[in-house]
Amino acid sequence: MDIKVVAITGAGSGLGASLAKKYSEMGSHVCLLGRNASKLNRVAEQLTGSYSIYETDVSSKGEVEKTVASIKEEVGPIDLLINNAGLGVFDLAENLTEENVHDMIDINLKGTIFCTQEVLPSMKERNEGLIINIVSTAGVEGKVTESVYCASKFGVRGFTESLVKELNDTGIRVFGAYMGGMKSPFWEGILTEERMKNLMDPDDIADIIIANAKVRKNLIVTEVIIKNKI
């Protein structure tokens, strides 16, 4: 499959930015989606190919509908959707506020669902396309102080595994990436600098995801789990 148009949510930093740079180097038109236009612009300056920026809140179905329609009109149908946008608030379950709970479920889970819903009709019309969901190992096992974050990511895992089955007889592929902590702004103010040193590099994770998402004869990879050494 020739990936001409790539849409990446949460593209303003971390893994989203790394994936944007790599797909840009591969010749794809990269659509950068996120809530912070200045961050998206900084990433765009580092891209080698064509790109477009869409200030979008993925937790809003209306905004997602408008953004995907704009992409289709301006650059063409989306060949690859990377659901990367995510938010984490870490504390004991009873300490999380109502806003914390809504934010994690709305962005991590609903955002993934809304974006996927918008690209599927076009992909089904063409009988081709790729959806990559960035899930995290929090979608594989429960963790202390990550109860609601894990709940949102377990939801994404269930959504991803169900999509694989729903689309089994089509030319559309769905791939879930489950990784541990990476060096990114996501952990600023949460982890110490010492702990940040031992986290994985987003560029390495991006390489692994791209390699596993590649179309290969007689096989398909539906998920990959990437863990820190320590």
Residues labelled catalytic:
149
Q: Which residues contact 20 (CB under 8 A, 6 or more apart)?
A: 6, 8, 11, 30, 32, 43, 47, 51
Angstrom distance (rounded) from CA 82 to CA 132: 5
d(CA 120, CA 30): 18
**Please, is 195 exposed, middle or buried when counting C-beta atoms within 10 Å of its C-beta (0-12, 13-18, 19+)?**
exposed
**Residue 79 near residue 2, CB atoms below 8 Å:** yes
- Crossing angle of helices 111-126 and 61-74, in 10° steps, is 30
Q: CB of 178 within 8 A of CB of 225?
A: yes
Q: Name 54's Cβ contacts closer than 8 Å, sequence gap at least 6.
A: 31, 32, 33, 67, 70, 71
Q: To which residue do tokens 């979008």 refer?
A: 56
